[in-house]
Amino acid sequence: MDGYCTHCEQEVKVSGVRHRSEGFCPNCGVKVTFLAESRAKHVQDWGVVAYFQKTPDGFVIRHFSVTKRYGQDYRHPELFIFELKRDFFDGNEFDFYEWRAFRSSGKIRWCDGWIKYYPDDAMIYTKNLVKALKGTRYQYCALKEYALNDKELGVRPYNYLYEYRRKPYIEYLVKLGLYRLVYELCHTQYCTNFLNSGGDSIPTILGVPKQYIHVVQELDMSLNQLSIYKKLIAMDIRMNGEEFLRFYHRYYDQTNTIFKIMRYTTLHKAERYCEKFVDDRQDYKNILHTWKDYIDFCEELGYDLRNSFVLFPKKLQDSHDEAAKEVTRRREKAKKDQIRKEERQAKKLLQGYQKLYPWSEGEFCVVVPKDLFEIKEEGHALHHCVGTYTSRVANEQSIILFVRRNEQMEKPFYTMEVQKGKIIQCRGYSNHNMTEEVKAFVEQYTKKVLNKIWMKEAV
Ligand SMILES: [Zn+2]
């Protein structure tokens, strides 16, 4: 069918294209979105353009908003351009100005600072760029090479120059064609951890041995790809670009799983093993996870994963389920043992506290619990969480004491937690605060009992 390219402004012939599909202009080769004349009555394109100009001491980056509107007569679009901001570099630092309403006066004029316009990715006019940067500290920043990258990666000129000052190696990354890394370095903050900014060569900065740099280059790796590739190298696994891409696409969202498995076997063997189990109920990822869980269980149970009968069970699901059962059984037993141990320890401690902590004055008294069971019961009765403090009690981190009324010694009333001679909290039913009377009692208790015990222990 007949077409018209709004980029090269030529009549072209295209075939087999649909409305809104993407492709390339057969004449100029630029990436295009195909639009049906009957369905796209009004089309609007928008972008930001950055234009560098020399100033007496440095340069200014002027940012323009550019809108192209295609109406019925799409061969003659309308162009709307207005200037958004100017970033001045005076040889030392930047000054920012925006075209906006001045404070409350509402008058539209050039104003100080960056307020209105978030830095958008811009298209940079590159023809005068070298000249504009010449003689400044940005002379070798390789912004032009970066801006002309073929990956359609946008650039925020000020961000780029800012990052370049902190990471001058950006120049070399650009020259190696590592545009994606540069893009991420200029658009995100988190990535500094990945790269060794203090390195004095590309291999040390990227953390990749020299002989692998060409793979990083060939794929123009992203930071995420690079970090995975580095892990493979650290595991002594060599992959060329094609192999790595395949690996990355298959495992980028489960690197922990596959790396865990690869501690025990090769990627090739792992994949062959997993693929055996794939059917319409279980896909590859599922199998992989089942296996990884099984391996975790084996580690916990101390099974010998170097033994291939253990590592590659004939019936993965069955072996997984068995191991899971055994793990659960052992964990429960360990928990029971732990609880029993804590009960024993606590009992001994609480017996000792019996001699020190009980006290009575007026209508209240302090009671030492007999065992952890009593502490749990107190929690149930008062609807608060002291029941979860039993481990702390057994480990001597906390002392739990009950405040009771002398008239009703058996009835839970308030519960105190004491640490290092100080009352950390004292709560009543449903975590309620102390009444004035209880507060007064507790203050007396601190003075007359706790402080004395603590003083003695300190001596
Ligand atoms: Zn064209």
DSSP string, 155-204: B-HHHHHHHHHH-TTHHHHHHTT-HHHHHHHHH-SGGGGTS-TT-SSHHH
Whether 370 and 340 share a structural domain: no
Contact of 179 with 217, CB cutoff 8 Å: no
Mean pLDDT value of segment 375-381: 94
pLDDT at 192 over 60: no
Whether 361 and 344 share a structural domain: no
Whole-number pLDDT of residue 16 = 86
- In sequence order, the 6+-apart residues with CB closer than 8 A to the CB of 180 are 151, 153, 220, 221, 222, 223
Mean pLDDT value of segment 96-106: 86
Q: Would you give the DSSP letter of residue 324?
A: H
**From CA 247, how far away is CA 266, in angstroms rounded?**
13
Whether 343 and 366 share a structural domain: no
Contact of 32 with 22, CB cutoff 8 Å: yes
pLDDT at 152 over 80: no
Is 328 domain-assigned? yes
What is the 18 CA–ligand 1 centroid distance (Å)?
17
Q: Angle 106-111-88 (CA atoms, 0-180°, nearest 5)?
A: 160
**From CA 196, how far away is CA 276, in angstroms rounded?**
42
What is the 4 CA–ligand 1 centroid distance (Å)?
8
What is the 384 CA–ligand 1 centroid distance (Å)?
73
What is the four-CA torsion angle of 149, 150, 156, 157, rounded to 10 degrees? 30
**From CA 399, how far away is CA 349, in angstroms rounded?**
9
Whether 305 and 364 share a structural domain: no
- Any alpha helices (H) in 241-394, and if so which ranges? 241-251, 255-262, 267-275, 284-301, 308-311, 316-354, 372-382, 390-394
Whole-number pLDDT of residue 131 = 95
What is the 29 CA–ligand 1 centroid distance (Å)?
6
Whether 335 and 365 share a structural domain: no
Is 8 domain-assigned? no
Which of 291, 316, 349 is a domain's end point? 349
Is 310 domain-assigned? yes
**From CA 227, how far away is CA 273, in angstroms rounded?**
26
Whether 382 and 332 share a structural domain: no
Q: Would you give the DSSP letter of residue 408?
A: B
What is the 80 CA–ligand 1 centroid distance (Å)?
22
- CA 165 vs CA 143, 158, 253: distances in Å: 12, 11, 34
**From CA 141, how far away is CA 155, in angstroms rounded?**
13
Whole-number pLDDT of residue 190 = 59
Mean pLDDT value of segment 414-423: 92
What is the 34 CA–ligand 1 centroid distance (Å)?
12
Mean pLDDT value of segment 230-243: 93
What is the 363 CA–ligand 1 centroid distance (Å)?
95
Average pLDDT over the chain reads 91
Confidence of residue 459 (pLDDT cuts 50, 70, 90): low
Whole-number pLDDT of residue 455 = 81
Whether 361 and 450 share a structural domain: yes
Count the domains in the chain: 2
Share of the chain above pLDDT 70, in %: 98
What is the 13 CA–ligand 1 centroid distance (Å)?
11
**Host domain of residue 440:** 356-458
Whole-number pLDDT of residue 457 = 75
Mean pLDDT value of segment 276-298: 94
Mean pLDDT value of segment 182-207: 80
In three-state secondary structure terms, 263 is coil
Whether 364 and 337 share a structural domain: no
Confidence of residue 84 (pLDDT cuts 50, 70, 90): very high
What is the 178 CA–ligand 1 centroid distance (Å)?
28
Mean pLDDT value of segment 159-173: 91
Is 117 domain-assigned? no
Whether 343 and 400 share a structural domain: no
Q: Enumerate residues with CB within 5 Å of ligand 1 (an ion).
A: 5, 7-8, 25, 27-28
Which of 323, 349, 375 is a domain's end point? 349
Stated length of the chain: 459
33 is written with which tokens? 């979105």
Whole-number pLDDT of residue 160 = 93
Mean pLDDT value of segment 363-385: 94
Whether 375 and 439 share a structural domain: yes
Is 312 domain-assigned? yes
Confidence of residue 243 (pLDDT cuts 50, 70, 90): very high
Which of 285, 318, 349 is a domain's end point? 349
Residue type, 318: D
**β-pairing, 122-124 with 43-54?**
parallel
Whole-number pLDDT of residue 341 = 95
Dihedral sign, CA of 452, 453, 458, 459? positive
Whole-number pLDDT of residue 50 = 94
Whether 283 and 298 share a structural domain: yes
Confidence of residue 191 (pLDDT cuts 50, 70, 90): low
Is 136 domain-assigned? no
> Where do we find the tokens 């029993």?
340
**From CA 87, how far away is CA 285, in angstroms rounded?**
50
* Ramachandran region, residue 152 (left: φ > 0; alpha: ψ -120 to 50; beta: rest): left
What is the 282 CA–ligand 1 centroid distance (Å)?
48
Confidence of residue 326 (pLDDT cuts 50, 70, 90): very high
**β-pairing, 107-112 with 59-70?**
unpaired
pLDDT at 161 over 90: yes
Whole-number pLDDT of residue 193 = 57
What is the 408 CA–ligand 1 centroid distance (Å)?
93
Is 439 domain-assigned? yes
Is 7 domain-assigned? no
Mean pLDDT value of segment 334-349: 95
Mean pLDDT value of segment 6-32: 91
Whether 394 and 327 share a structural domain: no
pTM over 0.85: no
> Where do we find the tokens 């075939």?
15
What is the 123 CA–ligand 1 centroid distance (Å)?
19
